[in-house]
Amino acid sequence: METRDLTVTVNDNLAVAHWLFHFTGEQDHPALQMWMRATAVCQKYQGTWQIIHEHISVPFNPSNAQAVFTLNP
């Protein structure tokens, strides 16, 4: 999996990360042509970080609200 544009924000008990990713492998597989967005929110509970929310989506064009399957960051 290739990851791009990872951004992490952390304070004492809460962390948020977001990034773009796509899988690598068979070059002609359709999933390899599409980048996805991911967001994870973590909270420290009793000294251990835990994921409390995770979201994965396809980027979209806000001008027409259509999914963008050809994103090339």
Which residue ranges make up each domain of the chain? Answer: 2-67
Yes or no: is domain 2-67 CATH 1.10.3720.10? no
Q: What is the pLDDT of residue 10?
A: 97
Q: Report residue 67's pLDDT band, with 50, 70 and 90 as the boundaries.
A: confident
Q: What is the pLDDT of residue 55?
A: 97
Q: Which helix (H) or strand (E) holds 44?
A: strand 36-45
**Rounded alpha-carbon distances, angstroms, from residue 69 to 3, 9, 11, 42:** 16, 28, 34, 28
7-54: pLDDT as tens digits: 999 999 999 999 998 877 777 766 667 788 999 999 999 999 999 999
Q: How far apart are CA 68 and CA 73, in angstroms?
A: 12
